[in-house]
Amino acid sequence: MSARPIKRIYFDHGATTPMLPEVIEAMEPYFAERCGNASSIHSYGREAKRAVDDARARVAKLINADPKEIVFTSGGTESDNLAIKGTAQYKGRTEGHVITSGMEHHAVLEPCARLKTAGFDVTELPITRDGFVEPVAVEAAVREDTVLISVMMANSEVGTIQPVREIASIARARGIPFHTDAVQAVGKIPIDVRKDNIDMLSISSHKIYGPKGVGALYVKAGTSIEPILHGGGHERGLRSSTENVPGIVGLGKAAEIAGKDINECNERMRGMRDQMIESVLKTVPDAYLNGHPTKRLAGNAHFRFDFIEGEGLVLRLDLLGIATSTGSACSTGSLDPSHVLLAMGLKHEQAHGSLRITLGRENTHEEVRYFLDVLPGVVSKLREISPFGNDRPMKGGMGERCVQ
Ligand SMILES: *Cc1c(COP(=O)(O)O)cnc(C)c1O
């Protein structure tokens, strides 16, 4: 029998991360004691403005931008919406061509769908079997009337790191604004918006050990973009609303910490991740790795187990104290499997049997060992009780089995 865990184990850092104690400590004074509105001219206001400017400099430094190019927002979703709608619909434009990919986060796909309804043409680039957008596909999709290209830097599900520099160069050479949703990449891979030719880049604080509900959009100086929120003209007119000072301070601190030890953190996580992949593929029959074996985020492991459903697996693991996620969206009330896995060419039933592990800085080898100890038993138990376990190979969709 395996030892029981001493505490709960969090393996879902792709969904959100725990705030670091240093981040909480940095934010604390800005809730009450330093309560100023950054637009006020008295000492409280100046103190808040200094804190916001300081955070702006830290976020800018993490991606090699100028502080003036950082716009604070309410999170990754708003940053994506601002970049996409704010660029495509610049000066009331109502038509044009937008290029994105089939593996984007919904925060990119949905605003693009809106643009389509509004009269724009949208091309969704195909994804390779191991989870990449190919620069040649971007090249082929570009048209005379292309007004925006948006391709994410690292995928949220399978963790594949996209050839963003090559794609951005294609855009730059044609004078097309290039946006990248870097929410999963920031703090995990080194980013240099200048060298990478990026015009807009989305950041979310809660994916890098900062507070929820705050984010940033890098907008290269000179980019033609309009606000989507109108009001008092904060953030140089691009994002009205009183700055979330404690949140911004937290994001600034998280950005500072994230930039300090990327390599060291990655090395640790890669070690644990590779041990996990090797062991799972060896000890669990009919298990596969989704995505590319090496060109992926250090903490991301994404498996596929034949003959079972990801939800069942996530719930069983949760009973054992291990928090993970699945490529299937059943838990959110939808019967559709992950659009990312389907875009990679997986069949519905394959996509349904997926498990995502996203490691973070606080995870330990001991936690990984515990997971590896219990997983084979959990999978075989689920297969025993699965109606699909007995008459392999399984055929057809499993969608109707995903009722909550
Ligand atoms: C989490 C996430 C978002 C959304 O960020 P929020 O701050 O939660 O709005 C957008 N894109 C990607 C790739 C994400 O992982």
Domain positions in the chain: 9-17+262-391, 21-258
Residue nearest to atom 5 of ligand 1 (CA): 76
Distance (angstroms) between ligand 1 centre and the Cα of 184 equals 8
Residue 101 Cβ contacting ligand 1 at under 6 Å: no
Helix 43-63 vs helix 245-260: crossing angle, to nearest 10: 30
Question: Cβ distance 123 to 151 under 8 Å?
Answer: no
- Regions of the chain with pLDDT less than 70: 1-6, 327-335, 387-404
Residue 170 Cβ contacting ligand 1 at under 6 Å: no
- What pLDDT was estimated at residue 327? 67
Give the predicted TM-score (pTM) of the model. 0.94
Same fold, 9-17+262-391 and 21-258: no
Contacts of 130 (CB under 8 A, 6+ apart): 160, 291, 292, 344
- What pLDDT was estimated at residue 223? 98
- What pLDDT was estimated at residue 402? 32
Query: In a 10 Å sphere around its CB, with 0-12 CB exposed, 13-18 middle and 19+ buried, how is residue 105 labelled?
Result: buried
Residue nearest to atom 3 of ligand 1 (CA): 76
∠ Cα 46 51 55 (to 5°): 145
- What pLDDT was estimated at residue 7? 81
Q: How far apart are the first and last CA of the chain?
A: 31
- What pLDDT was estimated at residue 336? 77
Annotated catalytic residue, options 112, 265, 330, 402: 330
Pocket probe for ligand 1: among 184, 189, 205, 297, the residue whose CB has the most ligand atoms within 8 Å is 184
- What pLDDT was estimated at residue 398? 41
- What pLDDT was estimated at residue 386? 78
Which atom of ligand 1 lies nearest, measured to the CA of 78?
Answer: 9
Q: Which residues pair with 72 in a beta bridge?
A: 216
What count of other Cβ atoms lies within 10 Å of the Cβ of residue 329? 19
Residue 156 Cβ contacting ligand 1 at under 6 Å: yes
What count of other Cβ atoms lies within 10 Å of the Cβ of residue 31? 10
**265 an active-site residue?**
no
Domain 21-258, architecture per CATH: 3-Layer(aba) Sandwich (3.40)
∠ Cα 323 326 327 (to 5°): 155
- What pLDDT was estimated at residue 219? 98
Residue 13 Cβ contacting ligand 1 at under 6 Å: no
Residue 204 Cβ contacting ligand 1 at under 6 Å: yes
Residue 81 Cβ contacting ligand 1 at under 6 Å: no
Which atom of ligand 1 lies nearest, measured to the CA of 80?
Answer: 10
Residue 215 Cβ contacting ligand 1 at under 6 Å: yes
Cα dihedral across residues 185, 345, 285, 403: positive or negative: positive
Q: For residue 158, give the nearest of 256, 330, 289, 276 by alpha carbon.
A: 289
- CATH number, domain 9-17+262-391: 3.90.1150.10
Distance (angstroms) between ligand 1 centre and the Cα of 378 equals 30
Which atom of ligand 1 lies nearest, measured to the CA of 107?
Answer: 10
Distance (angstroms) between ligand 1 centre and the Cα of 3 equals 35
